[in-house]
């Protein structure tokens, strides 16, 4: 049998990215996953052509320097039934410090890609030297604003857009040892709104000291699900320890 025609199974893996490793880029992360999956010995499907690569589908890229509790990766496997493989066990010890697997789920063949499916993300944004009271006022202003016009540059062109519809939720969080937290839910369609854009949407402009993505959400038919909740048969095929 030509292995390239092998049946495909797609599994979604959830993981976090915490600590110093937050400074690696999205490309670096892809290489780390390729090596980890090779070490796992799992039957990962390969692309065809001269230079075969593992078939990996990443979700929304996380900016270099950001932490995350909720990153996702869809992996294609070259077998029809993954029942005999424990994905979580196989990945044990293959990932560097700071990247931990939080769960895995078998996907429907018809599942939409992470990029398309995810509609908003929760963010935990730590700001230095900002008083909670001042941040509270800033939050009120943002919430009250009818429009939040921001300008960004793309391919040498100035693009002006309104962030207001993208800001789904916004509140002041707990103070930290160095400052205060801003909690936000920001839309990702048709283009992901970045936390740094939000912080420049209203005077004064803030600069974050640490940004963490805490949740990604898929909204469908009025329900809000996390990416590991949309699987066809959660946990069943992915070994012990999956919720």
Give contact residues for other proteins (rule: CB under 8 A).
3-4, 6, 20-21, 23-25, 27-28, 31-32, 34-39, 41-46, 49-52, 54, 64-65, 78-79, 90, 94, 96-98, 209
DSSP secondary structure code for residue 28 in this structure: H
Q: CB 181 → other proteins: shortest distance, Å?
A: 17
Whether the CB-CB separation of 107 and 12 falls below 8 Å is answered with yes
Burial of 32 (0-12, 13-18, 19+ CB in 10 A): middle
CB of 78 to other proteins, least distance (A): 5
Bridge partner list, 171: 183
**Minimum gap (Å) between residue 34 Cβ and other proteins:** 7
Kindly state the smallest distance separating residue 51's Cβ from other proteins, in Å. 6
Compare residues 27 and 143 and give the one whose CB is closer to other proteins. 27
How near is the Cβ of 85 to other proteins at its closest, in Å? 8
Q: Which one, 118 or 130, has the nearer CB to other proteins? A: 130
Distance of alpha carbon 152 from alpha carbon 160, whole angstroms = 7
Tell me the C-alpha distance between 4 and 101, whole Å: 28
Q: Which is nearer to other proteins, 23 or 220 (CB)?
A: 23
Q: Least distance in Å: CB of 209 to other proteins? A: 7
Q: Residue 222: how many CA atoms within 13 Å on its side-chain side?
A: 0
Specify the residue, 90 or 102, whose C-beta has the smaller distance to other proteins. Answer: 90
**Which C-beta is closer to other proteins: that of 24 or that of 120?**
24
- Computed over its alpha carbons, how large is the radius of gyration of the chain? 20
12 within 8 A of 73, measured Cβ to Cβ: yes
- Residue found by looking up tokens 């002006």 in the block: 160
Token pair listed for 161: 């857009």
């Amino acid at each position: 049998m030509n292995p390239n025609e092998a049946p495909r199974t797609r599994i979604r893996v959830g993981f976090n990215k915490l600590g110093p490793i937050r400074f690696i880029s999205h490309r670096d992360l892809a290489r780390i996953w390729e090596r980890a999956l090779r070490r796992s010995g799992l039957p990962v499907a390969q692309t065809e052509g001269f230079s075969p690569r593992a078939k990996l589908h990443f979700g929304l890229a996380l900016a270099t320097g950001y932490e995350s509790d909720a990153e996702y990766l869809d992996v294609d496997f070259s077998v029809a039934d993954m029942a005999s493989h424990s994905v979580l066990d196989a990945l044990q010890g293959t990932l560097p410090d700071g990247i931990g697997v939080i769960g895995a789920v078998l996907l429907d063949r018809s599942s939409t890609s992470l990029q398309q499916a995810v509609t908003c993300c929760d963010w935990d944004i730590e700001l230095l030297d900002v008083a909670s009271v001042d941040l509270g006022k800033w939050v009120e202003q943002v919430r009250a604003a009818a429009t939040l016009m921001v300008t960004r540059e793309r391919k040498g062109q100035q693009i002006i857009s309104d962030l207001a519809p993208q800001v789904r939720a916004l509140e002041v969080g707990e103070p930290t040892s160095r400052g205060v937290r801003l909690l936000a839910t920001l839309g990702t369609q048709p283009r992901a709104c970045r936390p740094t854009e939000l912080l420049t949407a209203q005077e004064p402009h803030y600069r974050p000291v640490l940004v963490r993505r805490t949740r990604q959400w898929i909204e469908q038919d009025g329900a809000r699900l996390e990416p590991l909740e949309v699987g066809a048969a959660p946990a069943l095929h992915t070994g012990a320890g999956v919720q």
